């Protein structure tokens, strides 16, 4: 009889959970362990916490020389730049220049960063200065001090690759949940579609709506998870790469589309660019939908969304 087998695992600094539908527990857990190993492999490639990772090698050589990288890394950077172009720079992997140095949401911040310092760091954020050479498979960050990071796309990419590996192993149905960025395929053990709760920004344990989905990815970006309070105002961990200041005005964004990498990458720019511009953009992209909740708990959604 078909059953759902789940395993939680801390990966990429986040709580992941992998679900596989199978008749055999031992086989299901082998599949899950293979997906975990694949995600750990991707983490080693993309991390900035490991001195000798390819990401750090590229960053260390900013303004110095191009760095040859794996095809996988090269292609991910190429796709990231394409998303930057589509979103008019609101998604930008070169945001690494303003990230931890100015805003640290894991520590208690008491005051806003110095505006002059923010301005200095902003000069280093520009995806157009990530120069790719497809022939040599090299990446060159044009300005010294530039840094790339995959915080806005890495989890989604890992979830997508975990799913693909499981499908290659013959898993017909499952879920890879990368701490709220998730991808599902097939159906539940009872044959019904997977039901996904859209988190309520004021109480993540109480979803405000449910979606029945299959062969779909869902990514949520919200200020209810990581934020700092300074002077009575809540600053979310989502930083606008054009201003260096965290987003305010939007509580949460949910993106629904077939690919987890795209869902993850689009969640951030949609939460930054302003509600009208975001809806306008999403309504022009095939197979990508969104739900936005603003600070006043008003709900906006793209054309094809039916909330129940």
CA distance 256 to 219: 7
- Give residues with Cβ within 8 angstroms of 161, minimum separation 6: 38, 39, 42
**Burial (Cβ within 10 Å: 0-12, 13-18, ≥19) of residue 175:** buried
> Do residues 36 and 18 make contact, with C-beta atoms less than 8 angstroms apart?
yes
Count the helix, strand and coil residues of the chain and give each as a percent rounded to the nearest 5.
35, 25, 40
- Residue 152, annotated ligand binder? yes
Longest dimension (CA), the chain: 63
Please choose, from the candidates 290, 301, 300, the residue with its C-alpha nearest in 3D space to the C-alpha of residue 265: 290
CA distance 152 to 159: 13
- Residue 268, annotated ligand binder? yes
Q: Which residues are annotated as a binding site?
A: 152, 264, 268
Q: Which residues are annotated as a binding site for Mg(2+)?
A: 152, 264, 268
């Amino acid at each position: 009889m078909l059953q759902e087998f789940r395993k939680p695992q801390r990966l990429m600094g986040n709580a992941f959970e992998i679900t596989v539908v199978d008749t055999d527990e031992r086989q299901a857990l082998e599949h899950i362990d293979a997906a975990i190993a694949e995600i750990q492999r991707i983490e080693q490639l993309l991390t900035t916490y490991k001195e000798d990772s390819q990401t750090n090698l590229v960053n260390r050589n900013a303004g110095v020389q191009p760095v040859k990288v794996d095809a996988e890394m090269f292609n991910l950077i190429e796709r990231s730049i394409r998303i930057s172009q589509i979103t008019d720079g609101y998604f930008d992997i070169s945001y690494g220049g303003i990230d931890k140095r100015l805003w640290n949401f894991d520590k208690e911040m008491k005051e806003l960063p110095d505006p002059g310092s923010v301005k200095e760091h902003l000069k280093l954020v520009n995806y157009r200065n990530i120069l790719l050479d497809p022939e040599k498979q090299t990446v060159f960050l044009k300005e010294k001090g530039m840094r790339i990071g995959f915080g806005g796309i890495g989890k989604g990419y890992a979830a997508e690759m975990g799913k693909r590996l499981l499908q290659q192993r013959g898993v017909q149905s499952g879920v890879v949940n990368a701490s709220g960025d998730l991808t599902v395929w097939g159906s539940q053990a009872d044959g019904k579609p997977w039901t996904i709760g859209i988190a309520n920004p004021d109480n993540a344990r109480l979803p405000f709506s449910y979606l029945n989905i299959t062969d779909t990815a869902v990514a949520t970006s919200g200020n209810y998870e990581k934020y700092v309070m300074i002077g009575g105002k809540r600053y979310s961990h989502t930083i606008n790469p054009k201003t260096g200041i965290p987003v305010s005005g939007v509580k949460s964004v949910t993106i629904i589309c077939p690919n987890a990498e795209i869902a993850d990458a689009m969640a951030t720019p949609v939460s930054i660019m302003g509600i009208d511009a975001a809806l306008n953009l999403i309504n022009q992209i095939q197979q990508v939908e969104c739900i936005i909740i603003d600070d006043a708990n008003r709900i906006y959604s793209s054309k094809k969304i039916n909330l129940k």
